[in-house]
Amino acid sequence: MLLFTPGPTPTPEFIRNALALPTIHHRTQEFESIFSETRELLKDMIKMPEVLMLSSSGSGAMEASLLTFCAKKVLTINSGKFGERFSKIANAFNIPYIEITNEWDTPAGLECVINALKANPDIDAICMQVCESAGGLRHSYEVIAKAIKEYNKDVTVIIDAITAMGVEPLDVSNVDVLIGGSQKAFMLPAGMSIIGLSQFALEKLESRNVGFYFNLKTELKNQQKNTTAWSAPVSLATGLCAFLKEAKKIGYENIYKETKARSLACDCVMENLGLRIYPKIPALAMTTVIDDDAEKVRKMLKNDFNVNIAGGQDRLKGKIFRINHMGIIPIHEISWVVNAIELCLSKLKRREFNGLANQIFLQQYYSIMES
Ligand SMILES: *Cc1c(COP(=O)(O)O)cnc(C)c1O
């Protein structure tokens, strides 16, 4: 079965081999050296002065970041399930929040954000996604982050980059907290989250001794000594180290370019097959199609063509399908996926099969790669 869901992503053999190594104890020189190497590789990748690795799925890092960096009121952007999650976290911990809600195909508007800051001078943190995975949309987080810092440099900008880290080069010049997760572009199983920290975040952390298990101040103190506050997720750290070494060898610029080419070429195929891309501004991490037959296509792909793609959740349940582009994905695999989608449409008597999907995909892919 080809795994083409936007999390979890497939785990290639070189990472599976790293995950399969015998368990070592985490309070050893041996582990500290793996952890230290992983920390340095991560900092180099995300271009931030500090990074933390937590033993949790992505949501754990979202919770830890919000609790740590918001002392008064948080502004959240809800253009889907993951943006909404920040509001739910605030709600669960009785943290006052202002939520900007949009349709799930609509990215955050800059004016709304600035107006909310003007109307609520006590907002000291903002949380938003780079890619809102619910509808596969890309927020202009870099433009919004810049405007926020120009308006008030003391607002902590918390960015959920779980489906963007490792997908595209991220501008972190106005970002304080950048969140990642192991099961997306890092091609690992779920269970480790990543938090990049800016100089501003590091200074703020000094006075924010919040929480117990997810106490980022305690974590930072330990992780700067290449150890973790609690038992470390040793195999995931070893797997992450293997991924980062390989990614560095391939070159991040090459990975970003190939991801972009696969993603844009796939979007283009969908449109040429007469399908509609759902988000107004699509993210590169996934191709999201809205269609009355979305569920039929998803099931047919799984049962007849051995391809596992994702559907939608909540209000988009049964209405969309999502194809992953995160990770180091062999081009022939996505080529197989678009071909299978064309075959599905022919089985559904929507259009006659003529090999257009593969033709468009390859033309687009190579023209983007050569540009
Ligand atoms: C996957 C994902 C998360 C994290 O979800 P977990 O299931 O907790 O790992 C958060 N934000 C976005 C945008 C995601 O795609």
Tell me which residues of the chain have a pLDDT lower than 70.
Answer: none
The per-residue pLDDT for 94 is 98
Per domain, the residue ranges of the chain are 9-249, 251-370
Pocket test for ligand 1, best of 79, 82, 192 (most atoms within 8 A of CB): 82
Per residue in 234-290, pLDDT (tens digit) is 999 999 999 999 999 999 999 999 999 999 999 999 999 999 999 999 999 999 999
Asked if 278 and 289 count as a contact pair (C-beta separation under 8 A), the reply is yes
Inter-axis angle of helices 294-305 and 331-347, nearest 10: 120
Ligand 1 centroid to 178 CA: how many Å?
Answer: 13
Pairing of strands 286-290, 193-197: unpaired
Q: Which atom belonging to ligand 1 lies closest to the Cα atom of 60?
A: 8
Q: Which superfamily does 251-370 belong to?
A: Aspartate Aminotransferase, domain 1 (3.90.1150.10)
DSSP-assigned states of every residue in 93-160 = TT--EEEEE--TT-PPPHHHHHHHHHH-TTEEEEEEESEETTTTEE--HHHHHHHHHHH-TTSEEEEE
Ligand 1 centroid to 162 CA: how many Å?
Answer: 6
Reported for 158-161, long-range contacts at CB under 8 A and 24+ positions apart, including other chains, are 158/65, 158/66, 158/69, 158/125, 158/126, 158/127, 158/128, 159/127, 159/128, 159/129, 159/130, 160/58, 160/62, 160/82, 160/86, 160/127, 160/128, 160/129, 160/130, 161/129, 161/130, 161/131
Q: Tell whether domain 9-249 is in CATH 2.60.40.150.
A: no
Q: How far is CA 287 from each of CA 5, 108, 132, 276, 320, rounded to the nearest angstrom?
A: 10, 19, 12, 10, 10
The per-residue pLDDT for 11 is 98
Helix, strand, coil shares of the chain, percent, nearest 5, are 45, 15, 40
In angstroms, the CA 256 to CA 14 distance is 20
Asked if 160 and 179 count as a contact pair (C-beta separation under 8 A), the reply is yes
Ligand 1 centroid to 119 CA: how many Å?
Answer: 30
The per-residue pLDDT for 181 is 98
The per-residue pLDDT for 65 is 98
The per-residue pLDDT for 84 is 98
Residues lining ligand 1, judged by CB closer than 6 Å?
A: 7, 57-59, 82, 129, 133, 160, 162-163, 181, 190
Q: How far is CA 153 from each of CA 145, 157, 201, 222, 265, rounded to the nearest angstrom?
A: 10, 9, 12, 28, 39
Q: Which atom belonging to ligand 1 lies closest to the Cα atom of 183?
A: 9
Task: Determine which residue's CA is closest to atom 2 belonging to ligand 1.
Answer: 162
Ligand 1 centroid to 16 CA: how many Å?
Answer: 22
The per-residue pLDDT for 102 is 98
Ligand 1 centroid to 297 CA: how many Å?
Answer: 24
Phi, psi of 291 (to 5 degrees): -165, 145
In angstroms, the CA 100 to CA 106 distance is 12
Ligand 1 centroid to 278 CA: how many Å?
Answer: 19
Q: Which atom belonging to ligand 1 lies closest to the Cα atom of 59?
A: 8
Pocket test for ligand 1, best of 54, 77, 87, 163 (most atoms within 8 A of CB): 163
Ligand 1 centroid to 343 CA: how many Å?
Answer: 31
Q: Which atom belonging to ligand 1 lies closest to the Cα atom of 131?
A: 13
Q: Which atom belonging to ligand 1 lies closest to the Cα atom of 193?
A: 9
The per-residue pLDDT for 236 is 98
The per-residue pLDDT for 310 is 98
The per-residue pLDDT for 40 is 98
